[in-house]
Amino acid sequence: MNIGTYLNAMRDPAGLPSPAIIFDFFLVLTFALHILLVNLVIGSALLILYGRFSSNPNAKLLSQSLSRLFVNSLSWAIVLGIAPLLFVQVIYDPFWYTANTISAWWALGFLAFIALAFILAYAFYLGGGYEGKSTPLWIILSLAFLFLAGIVVHSLSVAQLVPEKWPSFVVREGKYLSSGSSLHAFELFRFLHFMVPALAVIGVWLIFYGDYFKGSGKYSEEYLNWVKQFGAKLALYFSLIQAVVGFIWLITIPSEFKFYTNPFFILALISALIFLALLFKAQASPSQYAKPIAGLLILTVLLMSAAREALRMSYFAKAGYSMANYPVNPSYGSLLLFLATFVMGAIVLLYTAIVAYRAGKGIKEVGYEGLGKVSIYLMWAWIVVMVVIGVVIAVKNGALF
């Protein structure tokens, strides 16, 4: 049996409830959002440490302020990280489950690493991190566990791409190794491609930070101007480093894929070059270019996410696998429920984001009462629908009687 036949035979016999392209679209979207939040987490942690050990009073004040961003963005990164993993498991299940099985202890350890990183982040925050009192040891340990979690996910992601190497991963000297205690793949520049942008992303965030608190009376004008200039420099310098890292990774990709000709890669490259050009111009006046810079950052990450997915398809096509011919057993009700939940969540998050934004600006009147009421009604409607569906299915299958 060749590897393609084996992989296709391992697919879920129940098939997919809707065409695979729908799952793939949300995979690309949620991964882009997730990696942006991961960059905020890593970037804020590094700047917290920089501020704690710096003699610059502005850096120290920024370090205190970022303690809230660190714990909040980590929460969001964890939540949004679940989505792309679920979509991968649905349309690429033979690859992902095999990669997890042959490194089972590390796959389980990943959960512990994330939990410990989260606990340590809160230990820093609740210990007075926002006042500059908590020990930086908590941040150092939290960051260490985050990097360890990142290494595990990276290794599993790379291992799934090379099914032709799976036998060599689990068979040594004629013996089958079933412990799952080893990581089997690691590509340094691919890993750095996702880590280096952390300080570029936090740099863009700092430009908005400076504008957000302007006129609030909470921070001095001198401090806010320093934050914006500092953020603009971080964004530029680490975007340039990222470009070098990305180029090195590009030349390590198998030439047979001709990845440099992929339309998504070309669009991402164009977007990244425009982004860099704006960063150069923004050095003199960061606020003037803040919105277009942020827009291009998000666009570039989205296009890179799409290009990354196209590259994964190339690896899998080489093994004789395509998600496009995954058997489909339509379940339009579940698809509709998923899309409705997605829209509802977006509306609820929009309202909470508006409230948080206005509260941070010192605006006492919350406003947007209509949107708030709609959010509450939608959540109640969702609960009722889910309960009704659950009861109907339980009765239909005889689970209640």
Q: What is the pLDDT of residues 78-106, one digit of tens each?
A: 988 999 999 999 999 999 999 999 999 99
The span from the CA of 35 to the CA of 297, in Å, is 12
Q: Which residues of 207-227 are buried (b: 16+ CB within 10 A; e: fewer)?
A: bbbbbebbeeeebeeebbebb
Q: Which two three-digit tokens encode residue 259?
A: 């990845």
By residue count, the chain amounts to: 401
What are the tens digits of pLDDT across the range 360-394?
Answer: 776 767 677 888 889 999 999 999 988 988 888 88
Q: What are the CA-CA distances from residue 253 to residues 83, 258, 260 (Å)?
A: 27, 9, 10
pLDDT in the model for residue 213: 86
Identify which of 77, 84, 78 has the alpha carbon closest to the alpha carbon of residue 31. 84
d(C-alpha 61, C-alpha 56), whole Å: 9
**Secondary structure (3-state) at 286:** helix
Give 205's pLDDT tier (boundaries 50, 70, 90). very high
**Residue with tokens 């370090």, as numbered in its chain:** 63
State how far the Cα of 203 lies from the Cα of 240, in Å rounded to an integer: 13
In the chain, the percentage of residues whose pLDDT exceeds 70 is 97
φ and ψ at residue 175, rounded to 5 degrees: -110, 135
Q: Which two tokens stand for residue 239?
A: 């975007």
CATH number of this structure's domain 3-173+185-328: 1.20.1630
Average pLDDT, the chain: 90
Distance of CA 366 to the CA centre of its chain: 30
Of 3-12, 70-79, 130-139, 360-369, which gets the smallest average pLDDT? 360-369
Q: How far apart are CA 24 and CA 19, in angstroms?
A: 9
pLDDT, tens digit (0-9, with 9 covering 90-100), for 230-255: 999 999 999 999 999 999 999 999 99
In sequence order, the β-bridge partners of residue 176 are 171
Q: Is 179 helix (H, G, I), strand (E, B) or coil?
A: coil
The per-residue pLDDT for range 331-340, each reduced to its tens digit, is 888 888 888 8
Token pair recorded at residue 20: 């695979």
- Kindly report the number of other CB atoms within 10 A of residue 192's CB atom: 17
Quick one: pLDDT at residue 391? 86
Residues contacting 247, CB < 8 A, separation 6+? none
- CA separation for the pair 319, 330 (Å, rounded): 27
Segments in 92-163 forming alpha helices (H): 93-101, 104-126, 137-159
| Whether pLDDT at 302 is above 90 | yes
| Alpha carbon distance, N-terminus to C-terminus of the chain | 46
Phi/psi of residue 172, nearest 5 degrees: -125, 125
pLDDT digits (tens, 9 = 90+) for 26-38: 999 999 999 999 9
**pLDDT the model gives residue 280:** 95
Nearest one of 315, 304, 317 to 264, comparing CA atoms: 304
pLDDT per residue over 157-192, tens digit each?
Answer: 999 999 989 888 888 777 777 788 889 999 999 999
pTM flag (> 0.85): yes
257: confidence class by pLDDT, cuts 50, 70, 90 = very high
DSSP state of 176: E
pLDDT digits (tens, 9 = 90+) for 352-369: 888 877 777 767 676 778
CA-based nearest residue to 70, from 59, 60, 78: 78
Q: How large is the average pLDDT for residues 149-155?
A: 96
The full set of domain ranges for the chain reads 3-173+185-328, 331-401
Q: How many CB atoms lie within 10 A of CB 73?
A: 24
* DSSP 8-state assignment for residue 361: T
pLDDT digit string, tens, across residues 216-233: 778 899 999 999 999 999
- Six token digits for residue 84: 């792309």
Residue 401: band (very low, low, confident or very high) from pLDDT cuts 50, 70, 90: low
Q: What is the dihedral of CA 189, 193, 199, 204, to 10 degrees?
A: 160
Predicted local distance difference test score (pLDDT) of residue 154: 96
Exposed/middle/buried for 65, CB within 10 Å: 0-12, 13-18, 19+? buried
Q: Please count the other Cβ atoms lying within 10 Å of the Cβ belonging to residue 252.
A: 11
Q: Are 250 and 289 in contact (CB under 8 A)?
A: no
Q: What percent of the chain has pLDDT over 90?
A: 63
